[in-house]
Amino acid sequence: MIEIKKATKSKLNELVKLELLLWENHTEEELKEETLALMNSKNNIFFLAYDGKTPVGFCHVSLKYEYVEGANTRPVGYLEGIFVEKDYRRRGIAKQLVQIGELFAKQKGSKELASDCELDNKISEKFHLKIGFSEASKNIHFIKKL
């Protein structure tokens, strides 16, 4: 049976191991530092999904007070990241993680939950649509070296 728990500082190492599977272009040290700083903020929360004692997924939800594409209210709950181990996918775990993140956002006054994914990440796009998100916009970002 899967159990969802708030990730505390004592679970930082477990959380970061899962984060590294999602954000492969970061180092463990970078993610530890960033995640610890976010855990110290009242506007961020992390949840871990456990199969027994084994962490199998996580989500990170924040509150944003600045403009968020497609949102009409403030603060906006924002699904910053979600990940479930491959062997545990398609069991509703990610949906459970999002639902508990939604509760956090609602308790903090949010009336909307926003998220994003890369244009070519069709798996994430399908997941978001399946659990009730609607597309707000598509963006292409540019950079020019000076």
Residue 145 has pLDDT above 90, yes or no: no
DSSP three-state, residue 11: helix
Which pLDDT score is estimated for 139? 85
Walk me through the domains of the chain, giving residue ranges and CATH numbers.
2-130 (3.40.630.30)
pTM of the complete model? 0.93
In 7-107, DSSP assigns E strands to 44-51, 54-64, 76-84
> 67-120, pLDDT tens digit by residue?
999 999 999 999 999 999 999 999 999 999 999 999 999 999 999 999 999 889
Which pLDDT score is estimated for 141? 75
- Average pLDDT over the chain, rounded to whole? 95
Which pLDDT score is estimated for 143? 79
Band of pLDDT at residue 136, cut at 50, 70 and 90: very high
Beta carbons of 23 and 83 less than 8 angstroms apart: no
